[in-house]
Amino acid sequence: MLAIVCPGQGSQTPGFLTEWLDVEGVAEHLQALSSITERDLTAHGTTSDEETIKDTAVAQPLIVAAGLVTARALFGSSLPAGAVVAGHSVGEITASALAGAVDEADAMNFVKVRANAMAEAAAAAPTGMAAVLGGDPDEVLVKLDELGLTPANANGGGQIVAAGTMEQLAALGENPPAKARVIPLKVAGAFHTAHMQPAVGILEELAGTITPKEPAETLLSNFDGKAVADGQANLDSLVAQVSRPVRWDLCMQTLAEAGVTGVLELAPAGTLVGLARRGLKGVKTLAVKSPADLEAAKTFIAEHTAN
């Protein structure tokens, strides 16, 4: 069984889409998505510097667009039948579009509004996120609670992402949990926490203008790791996700229980297959980072969708 996963914010790197522009149809597709988001995603994926693409208002549309254009280059107009689809944080929007739960245009408009609203919320106070690697999970959670930090991402594989004010994160770095490392992340705010609550109302209003659809393939939710019940439940979850923790650990648990044998990550790939290697022992992985990976990806898909 194949799982197709879509990464979240922080996975982008300068120039990561440069080679993709040589693939037939990608440049045109990316231009169309740029028009919806009112961002030059071609420039941001090829020539913009690290500081520019770290900006939430740029990073989120760029990451969703990257997943959509690389998916079309690989799959064409439809995903392999029987695949399970999931996305981490903003990648859940990519996954929703690929699974057919929202139209591509609606997905890009949603991420544009989401990014702008979250950037505005993040500008209200200096906040951020840091990965806590290793340590006893219970001890890590106790430490975060002591400092007033939120476990914004439970990623599995020995990784919990803490979010809060820069002062709180500095205190965590100075006194980390036993046997744990704290690594600051390249994001511009405390996402998936109460700091993002102002963005929720904006997205609730937008959601009222979107007509959701039934997912064509199994689509997992960041909320509880389970398959979404229907298109409306998925849309509601996308709105609420902005200010509540991402439970990627539960998504991986569902993949394991479903008997997934292969995890394929779309561009900008690398983060989620890394978590899968640690949290899904024995499951094969493949990161589609560049067009050079397309042939290997097609073979991988065939291997993991065989009857």
Please list the active-site residues. 89, 192
On the CB side of 268, CA atoms within 13 Å amount to: 23
Sign of CA dihedral 49, 55, 59, 62: negative
Bridge partners, residue 182, by sequence = 132
Specify the 3-state DSSP secondary structure of 219.
strand
Label each residue of 45-103 as H, E or C. HHCCCHHHHHCHHHHHHHHHHHHHHHHHHHHCCCCCCCCEEEECCCHHHHHHHHCCCCC
Q: How many residues does the chain have?
A: 307
CA 118 to the chain's CA centroid: 15
Task: Indicate the helix (H) or strand (E) that contains 197.
Answer: helix 197-207
**71, 107 in Cβ contact below 8 A?**
no
DSSP-derived secondary structure for 129-182 = EEEEEES-HHHHHHHHHHHT-EEEEEEETTEEEEEEEHHHHHHHHHSPPTTEEE
